[in-house]
């Protein structure tokens, strides 16, 4: 399966959001990555339901919603109704992760689990066959534009081994500090999905930057 590219809307120009949505629609990107932050689980607040509803109205590609919030179970149905395709919750925010995953899948969405840089891959062993996407945070969550944490490569390799050992179909997503300097190495290590925010939207030509990432990760 070709590597999926998911530009992070957190890095888009919110004064020209429709323009940036159309750019992704017409680019080589595969998904829209939407970071929802509550200022409690992470030290930042991003955007909520009204903005996602507006994005969904214009987006022609799947919505990959990443909840960096406490008590995500309260909002599962809401995000399903907004048109979310994949809903990712944080391991660190879920008291009953298996129950949360089942609740997400019951709405028809695929279920993702994100893990912070300090969280061990081994903690997912008992639920790996229930997870559609594991999102490895390669920066500390909460802010865009951070430097990539090199230990991520070891985590990708360990996660790939865990997936294969359990005959799971789980996809590996990398979120944070992804650029043209590390994209190929991440894919070679086992990554299936790359989230890129500042690298895409901070470039002179975001469409060309996505195209280059596509070439690199073939």
pLDDT 10s digits, 154-205 = 999 999 999 999 999 999 999 999 999 999 999 999 999 999 999 999 999 9
**The predicted structure's pLDDT at residue 1:** 78
Active site residue 30: no
Q: How far apart are CA 91 and CA 62, in angstroms?
A: 23
Stretch (H or E) spanning 154: helix 152-165
The side-by-side arrangement of strands in the sheet containing 171-175 is 4-7, 193-196, 171-175, 133-137, 110-115, 86-90, 63-68, 32-37
DSSP designation for 96: S
What's the topology of domain 4-216? TIM Barrel (3.20.20)
Catalytic residue among 35, 38, 130, 192: 35
**The predicted structure's pLDDT at residue 111:** 98
Residue spans of the chain under pLDDT 50:
none
Active site residue 73: no
Report the 10 Å Cβ neighbour count for 77. Answer: 13
44, 69 Cβ separation under 8 angstroms: no
Catalytic residue among 30, 64, 175, 192: 175
Distances (CA, A) of 114 to 20, 76, 102, 128: 25, 15, 16, 12
Q: In terms of pTM, does the model score above 0.85?
A: yes
């Amino acid at each position: 399966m070709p590597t999926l590219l998911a530009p992070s809307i957190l890095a888009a120009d919110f004064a020209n959001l429709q323009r940036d949505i159309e750019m992704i629609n017409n680019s080589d990107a595969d998904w829209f990555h939407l970071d929802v932050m509550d200022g409690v689980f992470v030290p930042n607040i991003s955007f909520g339901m009204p903005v996602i509803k507006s994005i969904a109205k214009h987006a022609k590609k799947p919505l990959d919603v990443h909840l960096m919030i406490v008590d995500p179970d309260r909002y599962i149905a809401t995000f399903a109704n907004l048109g979310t395709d994949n809903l990712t919750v944080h391991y660190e925010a879920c008291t009953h992760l298996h129950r949360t995953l089942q609740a997400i899948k019951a709405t028809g969405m695929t279920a993702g689990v994100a893990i912070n840089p300090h969280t061990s891959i081994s903690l997912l062993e008992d639920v790996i066959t229930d997870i559609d996407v594991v999102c490895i945070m390669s920066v500390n969550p909460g802010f865009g534009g951070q430097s990539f944490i090199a230990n991520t490569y070891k985590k990708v390799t360990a996660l790939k081994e865990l997936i294969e050992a359990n005959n799971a179909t789980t996809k590996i997503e990398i979120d944070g500090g992804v650029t043209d300097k590390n994209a190929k190495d991440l894919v070679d290590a086992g990554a299936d999905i790359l989230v890129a925010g500042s690298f895409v939207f901070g470039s002179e030509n975001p469409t060309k930057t996505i195209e280059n990432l596509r070439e690199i990760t073939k």
